[in-house]
């Protein structure tokens, strides 16, 4: 056996081992509990640069370069770096400046959703699995509810009460810790203040954070947005509920399909703000 053949066999074994370890991890975490959402007709591309907040330059397999819309205002520096693999979807439209949407970015063996425009659709699909929600006897769910000077994402109505819900998506993980936000968010802080106001008026309110990659627990990103972190801490102290739902995205090259699965809830740690 030649030395090259030997190393090829070792490499193939390594890939097989790596994928099976990932499979076992997801089984342990309950990954196959529920299939939540599916993205079809995806295209692999390679990241070149970020032109501005919402436009990225990518390279396709034929070496041509394209511009794609990035529907995520976060910094995403751990995902958008030169030569990283990006999943995109072609959009047919006469009014758009770009013909592609960025859907997900590769992180090691995993894929991370970075299209916040799908968060509501994912939430609505997830809410169909009532047994996964922290509330019982839900009779109605309404989206885009006006509260004060803001609009909150959802209003849950049960047989006993109403619960106002604000949903956030988390795509940043550092050393096993999921953290949000990835960039300062005045809007996010304003939503927390609305939830606090509701709770102070004896109305139940909650924030749902959808974590789109494996993590051991969640902490607010104090370094990036100390005001949001402090307001989140205050909200929980005053009785606003915080629920962390963890998902994972698996991509199948043969079908060009990425499937989002629900894993489990994860705990959070809120440190006392300085």
Contact 246, 263 (CB under 8 A): yes
pTM for the model stands at: 0.87
Whole-number pLDDT of residue 94:
84
Per the structure, the count of domains in the chain is 2
Pairing status of strand 172-174 against strand 177-180: antiparallel
Which regions of the chain are under pLDDT 70?
1-33, 272-274
Whole-number pLDDT of residue 35:
94
102 and 178 housed in the same domain: no
3-state secondary structure of 77: coil
89 and 156 housed in the same domain: no
Whole-number pLDDT of residue 96:
87
Rounded distance between C-alpha atoms, residue 221 and residue 211, angstroms: 14
**Last residue of a domain, which of 55, 75, 108?**
108
Q: What is the CATH number of the domain that holds 59?
A: 2.40.50.580
Tokens 């396709």, residue located: 60
Whole-number pLDDT of residue 79:
97
pLDDT digits (tens, 9 = 90+) for 57-113: 999 999 999 999 999 988 999 999 999 999 999 998 888 889 999 999 999 999 999
Q: Which two tokens stand for residue 198?
A: 């509701």
3-state secondary structure of 35: strand
Report the candidate in 6, 81, 12, 35 with the shortest Cα–Cα distance to residue 261: 35
Query: Residue 69's beta-bridge partner residues?
Result: 55, 101
Name the DSSP class of 235. H
Q: What is the CATH number of the domain that holds 163?
A: 3.40.1350.60
């Amino acid at each position: 056996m030649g030395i090259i053949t030997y190393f090829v066999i070792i490499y193939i074994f390594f890939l097989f081992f790596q994928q099976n370890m990932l499979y076992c991890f997801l089984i342990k975490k309950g990954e196959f509990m529920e299939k939540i959402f599916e993205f079809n007709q995806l295209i692999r591309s390679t990241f070149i640069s970020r032109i501005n907040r919402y436009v990225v330059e990518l390279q396709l397999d034929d070496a041509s370069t394209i511009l794609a819309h990035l529907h995520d205002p976060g910094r995403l520096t751990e995902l958008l770096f030169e030569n990283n693999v990006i999943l995109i979807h072609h959009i047919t439209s006469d009014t758009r400046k770009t013909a592609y949407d960025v859907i997900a970015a590769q992180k090691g063996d995993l894929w991370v959703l970075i299209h916040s425009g799908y968060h509501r659709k994912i939430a609505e699909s997830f809410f169909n699995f009532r047994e996964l929600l922290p509330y019982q006897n839900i009779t109605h769910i309404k989206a885009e509810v006006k509260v004060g000077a803001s609009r909150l994402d959802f209003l849950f109505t049960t047989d006993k009460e109403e619960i106002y819900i604000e949903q956030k998506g988390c795509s940043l993980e550092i050393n096993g810790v999921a953290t949000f936000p990835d960039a300062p968010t005045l809007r996010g802080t304003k939503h927390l203040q609305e939830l606090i106001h509701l709770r102070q008026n004896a109305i139940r309110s909650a924030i749902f954070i959808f974590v789109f990659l494996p993590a051991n627990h969640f902490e607010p990103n104090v370094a990036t947005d100390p005001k949001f972190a402090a307001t989140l801490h205050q909200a929980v102290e005053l009785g606003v509920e915080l629920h962390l739902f963890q998902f994972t995205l698996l991509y199948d090259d043969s079908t060009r399909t990425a499937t989002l699965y629900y894993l489990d809830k994860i705990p959070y740690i809120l440190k006392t703000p300085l």
